[in-house]
Structure 1
Amino acid sequence: MGSLLEEGMYNLTHWHLTEITTGALEVSDDEACDDYQNNTSEEAVEGITYSEGQAVLVSVFLPIIMTLGIVNNIAFIYVVIRVPRMRTVTNCYLVGLAVADILFLVFAIGSRVWSYANSPIHRDDTPLGLSGFLLTQFVINTSYFTTLCFITLVSWERYNGVCRPHRKRDTKLRVFKLMAVSFLGSSLMSATLLLSLTKVYVVCITWPDRPTYIDWPRQRYHYFPVYDWVDKYSYGAQTIPFFISLIINVIFYHRIIKGLDKSMHRRHTHPNHRCSGGDTSTRNQIARMLVINGIALFALLAPFEIMSLFQLIGMFRGFTFLLTLEVRGHLVEVARIFSYFNAVVNPVIYTALSSRYRESFKITFMPAQCRPHQRQRIENSVHGSTVTVQCGVTSKVHESRM
């Protein structure tokens, strides 16, 4: 899910937030420069290069987050593949969400690490080149919009499972069609955002005349929209879908929670029918888990989108902002880190809140002799034997299989 405005869906460190110091510099005729930046003083150098804290963040902290997120999401995908009883409609959407999270982490954090390794300038996308930069933004934006689509599909599926249990379940073909349409729509929306990054603005840099700076880059590229209205469109297209998705999911969560309350009431008033219609306890547990997972997702993305919304409002006010550039920069960094954590925590929430998911992870990764007998019986059922339907063992009635 980079910097706000230099990383697609989180594109908030745009050229409007960049202060360029212009001076009368001598530049060779073969350098095509749109502007000049004089960094001949130590203070100017410190202002655009990595501080010690920023270097630790990009070289140590962010790679750890990326590694944890990739491992967590790959592990979840493998569990769904390994344990057939996990191949439900809901988990199909969650696998798509895991793939989107992996792509986001690789391109969002990976691009920052690559830029750090190839340029001393903080938040410098020049090492990516224009094509690499556009590809990075496209993948990040696509993963973002896909995440919103898949989390909404998960909410829709759980709403039907809890509040409309007798509704005919989606077929495998319909699920794949919904996923394909979500991915295609996200890709098209992402492609339109690239219009705000197609004009290259070249800034030529002068460094102190010392051997340390001989190999430092003499040019830095900024990416602009061709037309001013495109910039406003990119912010709106990034922000509005988030709040629309948030409202839709809040409605679903409200109805799911009400449905769970009714289900608990029926179980207390009719204790002799607790096991009728399948494993209601497991179904409700998974529904709660997915509601909490959705709330965490929107909570971690919200700071980011709120910053983007404020940026959009400021642009309509003639680039007049309530907060200073420095404060906005700190808030942007915090919002970015929240978005990275969002791509990491989903599998953790699944296993922490659902015994069914924990069982499946144990079946997949623990040695056979360490698995409880009941879990072995569940696993053996996927090889052809029939599972005895007991309350608390399986929820095939309420979790439609793929």
Structure 2
Amino acid sequence: MKHITCTSGFDTSSLREYTDWESVVTVIVMPIVLAFGLITNSCFIFMVYRVPDMRITINIYLVSLAVADVSFLVFTISDKLAKHVMSPLYGDAGHRDTSGCILIYFFIYVANLSSELHILVLAFERYYSVCVPLKAKFNQKKRAARLLTATWLISVLIAASFTPAYSDYKLYCLEDTKYSDLSDTYGVCRSVTSENEIDSANIYFNLAQPLIFLVSLILSSVLYVKVLRKLRRVSASLKNRGMAQTTQYRKSKVKQYFNRMLWFNWLVYFTLAAPFQLYAVCDFVSYITGGDSVADSSPLFTTCRLLLYLNSCVNPLVYAATNPKYRVAFIAACSPRKLHSNNNTGQMMAMTKTTISIAVID
């Protein structure tokens, strides 16, 4: 039998068992959310692969976002399930070691940060496409590749900078405590500065996340406001000049479809993610001021976390709900017949109908 070395002297005042609500959410609801997210994002990726007319530049960004969302769901929910299965004590990481602490959180934060930055990149792409159209139409796929490479690289670098906040693994003995009947040990992924007077690694970790979220929210909001104003001016100008039936006007309507879709996607993202970020900030403020944790065993905090996970599931549903082209493409992707690109699809989508033409070959 493997000998386990643990450290004594752990303050057990913060230890507790899972509440009934946390157990239900972890064991039942989270696996359902994971399955739902895998289905929706996989269907979207399959649709882009299956329907040639959907292999457009904007969908390169959205496929990358789907990969980030799936990665976030897989790593976070599998981690929560593993903790619950391995120990009845909430947050027990006793089944890990130092490398386990570093790797699981690194991958979680790479995926989470990447999702946030994708929303900002999508806002920038829309702004560039609508407000600087002459430059935007050149090298679109190369620009997308560069932006996405930078997005993932920045996410990796920021996630790596978070590592000191959870890379000091400690396994504590619970003998002669009221929890000894539940578990012999309790594992913690601590910050490397946790024993210092000022826990700088933990402070940086807890401040950087909401700050990145807030900056992304503000910048993307400004960009989308500029985009919507520009489209409104262009549409009004074309109508006033009697060009409502021209190709130029129809192209502007197509852009409005995509921008409306991405704007709703932005709204849903920040609506679902903001409660968890706000709760986390309040909990951290309470921690550094010496107060009790506002998130400890709180059903509301668990619900906010669940909303954050749900956020990674619903993007494809937003696309289908707000853009008719995606609704038809989802249906066409399920067709057993072979699909090929229809050069007139873009022109036909310019009409404000709820169907598009997708050519097929038997």
| Equivalent residue, structure 1, for 2:279 | 307
Instruction: Please tell me whether the aligned partners of residues 253 and 350 of structure 2 are also in contact (alpha carbons under 8 angstroms).
Output: no
TM-superposed CA distance for 1:327, in Å, is: 5.3
| Equivalent residue, structure 1, for 2:359 | none
Unaligned 5+ runs, structure 1 = 1-29, 369-378, 396-402
The worse-fitting range, judged by mean Cα deviation, of 200-209 and 95-104 is 200-209
| Equivalent residue, structure 2, for 1:248 | 219
CA distance in 2 between partners of 1:285 and 1:270 (Å):
22
Picking from 190, 207, 217, the partner of 1:224 is 190
| Deviation digits for residues 277-315 of structure 1 (CA, Å, limit 9, x no counterpart) | 353322211111101101111122112222333345445
The 1:365–1:167 alpha-carbon spacing in structure 2 relative to 1, beyond 3 Å, is same
| Equivalent residue, structure 2, for 1:138 | 106
1:238 aligns with 2:213: no
For residues 3-402 of structure 1, the aligned pairs below 5 Å read 31-36=5-10, 48-169=16-137, 170-206=139-175, 213=181, 216-227=182-193, 228-277=199-248, 279-314=251-286, 318-321=288-291, 324-325=292-293, 329-330=297-298, 331-366=300-335, 381-382=340-341, 386-387=343-344, 390-392=347-349
The 1:313–1:209 alpha-carbon spacing in structure 2 relative to 1, beyond 3 Å, is closer
Instruction: Please tell me whether the aligned partners of residues 279 and 391 of structure 1 are also in contact (alpha carbons under 8 angstroms).
Output: no
The 1:202–1:257 alpha-carbon spacing in structure 2 relative to 1, beyond 3 Å, is same
Say which SS state the counterpart of residue 201 (structure 1) adopts. Answer: strand
The 1:141–1:389 alpha-carbon spacing in structure 2 relative to 1, beyond 3 Å, is closer
The aligned amino acid for 1:246 is L
TM-superposed CA distance for 1:147, in Å, is: 1.3
| Deviation digits for residues 261-287 of structure 1 (CA, Å, limit 9, x no counterpart) | 223323542444433235332221111
TM-superposed CA distance for 1:358, in Å, is: 0.7
Say which SS state the counterpart of residue 188 (structure 2) adopts. Answer: strand
The 1:307–1:394 alpha-carbon spacing in structure 2 relative to 1, beyond 3 Å, is same
TM-superposed CA distance for 1:329, in Å, is: 4.2
CA distance in 1 between partners of 2:336 and 2:215 (Å):
45
Query: Of the two structures, which has the highest relative contact order with CA contacts closer than 8 Å and spacing of 6 or more?
Result: 1
The 1:386–1:198 alpha-carbon spacing in structure 2 relative to 1, beyond 3 Å, is closer
The aligned amino acid for 1:305 is Q
CA distance in 2 between partners of 1:129 and 1:346 (Å):
35
The worse-fitting range, judged by mean Cα deviation, of 217-226 and 129-138 is 129-138
Instruction: Please tell me whether the aligned partners of residues 265 and 315 of structure 2 are also in contact (alpha carbons under 8 angstroms).
Output: yes
User: What TM-score do you get using the length of structure 1 for normalisation?
Assistant: 0.76
Runs of 4 or more off by more than 6 Å in structure 1? 207-210
CA distance in 2 between partners of 1:304 and 1:74 (Å):
26
Identical columns (%): 25
Say which SS state the counterpart of residue 200 (structure 1) adopts. Answer: strand
Q: Aligned Cα RMSD in Å?
A: 3.0
| Deviation digits for residues 322-370 of structure 1 (CA, Å, limit 9, x no counterpart) | xx435554243222111101101111100011001111111102456xx
CA distance in 2 between partners of 1:257 and 1:388 (Å):
24
The aligned amino acid for 2:312 is A
CA distance in 1 between partners of 2:289 and 2:350 (Å):
59
CA distance in 1 between partners of 2:345 and 2:314 (Å):
34
CA distance in 1 between partners of 2:328 and 2:70 (Å):
24
Instruction: Please tell me whether the aligned partners of residues 52 and 339 of structure 2 are also in contact (alpha carbons under 8 angstroms).
Output: no
Say which SS state the counterpart of residue 217 (structure 1) adopts. Answer: coil
CA distance in 2 between partners of 1:199 and 1:392 (Å):
55
The 1:391–1:163 alpha-carbon spacing in structure 2 relative to 1, beyond 3 Å, is farther
Say which SS state the counterpart of residue 35 (structure 1) adopts. Answer: coil
Instruction: Please tell me whether the aligned partners of residues 48 and 54 of structure 2 are also in contact (alpha carbons under 8 angstroms).
Output: yes
Instruction: Please tell me whether the aligned partners of residues 37 and 204 of structure 1 are also in contact (alpha carbons under 8 angstroms).
Output: no
CA distance in 2 between partners of 1:138 and 1:112 (Å):
15
TM-superposed CA distance for 1:208, in Å, is: 8.7
TM-superposed CA distance for 1:394, in Å, is: 8.4
The 1:320–1:207 alpha-carbon spacing in structure 2 relative to 1, beyond 3 Å, is closer
Instruction: Please tell me whether the aligned partners of residues 19 and 297 of structure 2 are also in contact (alpha carbons under 8 angstroms).
Output: no
Instruction: Please tell me whether the aligned partners of residues 320 and 326 of structure 2 are also in contact (alpha carbons under 8 angstroms).
Output: yes
Instruction: Please tell me whether the aligned partners of residues 307 and 332 of structure 1 are also in contact (alpha carbons under 8 angstroms).
Output: yes
CA distance in 1 between partners of 2:265 and 2:125 (Å):
14
Q: How many residues align?
A: 342
CA distance in 2 between partners of 1:188 and 1:88 (Å):
29
The aligned amino acid for 2:148 is M
Instruction: Please tell me whether the aligned partners of residues 282 and 356 of structure 1 are also in contact (alpha carbons under 8 angstroms).
Output: no
